[in-house]
């Protein structure tokens, strides 16, 4: 069964709540998940996953240093993640606080790895976002993000 790795940083649990909703979405599509704080995630986790979803709080309009350090370390597996499916999500302190630039920073890293990232024409275009603790609407977007990643993995499996 395909596996989706959800790797995130979170200090006050807002991003963690988002990660749980993302996981719910992946599972609802029948795929296996591994949800890990970034300090516990390994390069082997990246290599073994069919999908990679990254989550970070917005820190100064960017991802947390812990996530950036993990991505810098992922240089050791550069070229080996190509063709996997990915996505990103972020929690911020306030509207206009740089949450989209944070999501895009993680999406950029995924793209550099050759990971396939699907946009969303209707909801959060770049990835799921939340101001503080995710409310019902943000949770729904997170769940949808997980579902979309899982569905794309299944679609790619069917054609390969």
41 touches ligand FMN by CB under 6 A: no
Of 51 and 55, the one with the shorter C-beta distance to ligand FMN is: 55
Considering only 2, 6, 7, 14, the residue that binds ligand FMN (CB under 6 A) is 14
Q: What b/e readout covers 125-146, taking b as 16+ CB neighbours within 10 angstroms?
A: ebbbbbbeebeeebbebbbbbb
Tell me the C-alpha to C-alpha distance, in Å, between residue 5 and each of 53, 54, 143.
6, 8, 15
What is the nearest approach in angstroms of ligand FMN to the Cβ of residue 16? Answer: 6
Alpha helices in the chain (DSSP H): 14-28, 43-48, 65-73, 99-112, 136-159
98 touches ligand FMN by CB under 6 A: yes
Considering only 24, 97, 123, 154, the residue that binds ligand FMN (CB under 6 A) is 97
77: its two tokens: 């597996």
Considering only 78, 93, 111, 112, the residue that binds ligand FMN (CB under 6 A) is 93
What is the gyration radius of the CA atoms in the chain, in angstroms?
A: 14
Residue given tokens 């947390």 in the structure block:
64
Of 18 and 49, the one with the shorter C-beta distance to ligand FMN is: 18
What is the nearest approach in angstroms of ligand FMN to the Cβ of residue 77? Answer: 26
Binding site for ligand FMN (CB under 6 A): 10-16, 57-61, 91-94, 97-98, 132
């Amino acid at each position: 069964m395909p596996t989706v790795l959800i790797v995130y940083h979170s200090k006050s649990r807002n991003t963690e709540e988002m990660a749980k909703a993302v996981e719910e979405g992946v599972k609802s599509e029948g795929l296996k998940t591994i949800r890990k704080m970034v300090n516990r995630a390994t390069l082997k986790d990246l290599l073994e996953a069919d999908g990679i979803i990254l989550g970070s709080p917005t820190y100064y309009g960017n991802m947390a240093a812990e996530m950036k350090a993990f991505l810098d370390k992922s240089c050791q597996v550069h070229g080996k993640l190509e063709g996997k499916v990915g996505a990103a999500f972020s929690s911020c302190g306030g509207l206009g606080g740089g949450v989209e630039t944070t999501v895009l920073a993680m999406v950029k890293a995924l793209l550099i790895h050759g990971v396939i990232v699907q946009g969303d024409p209707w909801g959060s275009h770049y990835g799921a976002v939340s101001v503080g603790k995710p409310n019902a609407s943000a949770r729904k977007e997170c769940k949808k993000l997980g579902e979309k990643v899982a569905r794309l993995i299944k679609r790619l499996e069917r054609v390969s």
